[in-house]
Amino acid sequence: MKTESKNVWRTLLALFIAVVYLAPIYILICVALKSPSDVSSYWKFPAQINWTNFDTAIHEGGILLALSNSTFITVCSVFLIVICGAFAAYPLARRRTRLNKGIKSFILGIMMVPPLSILVSLYSTMVQIHGVNSYWGIIMVLVTFELPLSVYLYSNFISSIPRALDEAASIDGCGPVRTFFVIILPQLKPVTASVVILTGIHCWNDYQFSLYMLQKPSMKSVSLAISSFFSQTTSNLNAATAGALLAILPVILMFLFLQKYFIKGMVDSAVK
């Protein structure tokens, strides 16, 4: 009886928190569906649903192009992050020499570097090697700064695979390189899901790198398209909001369907 009344309170409290957390999304939807001339409170759901904001976002804001640019950048980056990360993690997890320990702590140290602290020299280096306004430029930079997380996750995971498997393979005449491809690689599926999700979200949401690496309007990523839409002097906030809604829709939908993997990925990256 007592626990039941406690549970009612818990449910109420959880409901309150949920309402607070849904408020931003609710307002986003309301603004996106209102006509720009509608000056009622943001809290009010539009009396008449207005889809023209989405038209404006697509035709004037170039959201569809930005979505496809971001998709391309994210897919390529994540692919490289997975490949380079899994490869780099294998020797770091299996051969614990002094050199490799040093390299591992160097790689993990990069996770702490705020990328903007080397903005000036990174940007001027990219200008020199013609990496600005090119897809490979932004992809390389994203891969570099997301790679430490990937190496960290993969090397923790590989360390948890029993060494006896490697030894058995070596007795059967398998070299260390083949061992990686035949024994280790097929087992990396669950951790790869975590890597793809975590780094994929970061690449999709990136603003700080694309802000100065992609200045050509035709190459805009989603974040850039949204930010230029919001900051235009004659800004149409409703259309900009519709664009923002389109930009977060793919990630939110993915999260709703793959929730378990998203949360597992987060926990994996935090707990050794």
Which residues, 44 to 83, sit near another protein by CB under 8 A? none
Phi, psi of 271, rounded to the nearest 5 degrees = -110, 125
Q: How far is the CB of 253 from another protein (least distance, A)?
A: 10
Among 23, 165, 168, 182, binds another protein (CB under 8 A): 23
Q: How far is the CB of 57 from another protein (least distance, A)?
A: 13
Q: How far does CA 50 lie from the centroid of its chain?
A: 31
Using rule CB under 8 A, residue 267 touches another protein: yes
CA distances from 164 to 171, 178, 198, 262 (A): 10, 15, 30, 31
Using rule CB under 8 A, residue 124 touches another protein: yes
Q: Exposure of 220 by Cβ count < 10 A (0-12 exposed, 13-18 middle, 19+ buried)? A: buried
Report CA torsion sign: 185, 187, 189, 195. negative
Using rule CB under 8 A, residue 248 touches another protein: yes
Phi, psi of 134, rounded to the nearest 5 degrees = -140, 150
Nearer to another protein by Cβ, of 15 and 49: the residue is 15
Among 78, 141, 196, 213, binds another protein (CB under 8 A): 141
Closest CA relative to residue 156, chosen from 191, 181, 185 = 191
Nearer to another protein by Cβ, of 219 and 265: the residue is 265
Q: How far is the CB of 218 from another protein (least distance, A)?
A: 20
Using rule CB under 8 A, residue 112 touches another protein: yes
Nearer to another protein by Cβ, of 64 and 211: the residue is 211
Using rule CB under 8 A, residue 147 touches another protein: yes
Q: Are 197 and 261 contacting, i.e. CB atoms less than 8 angstroms apart? A: yes
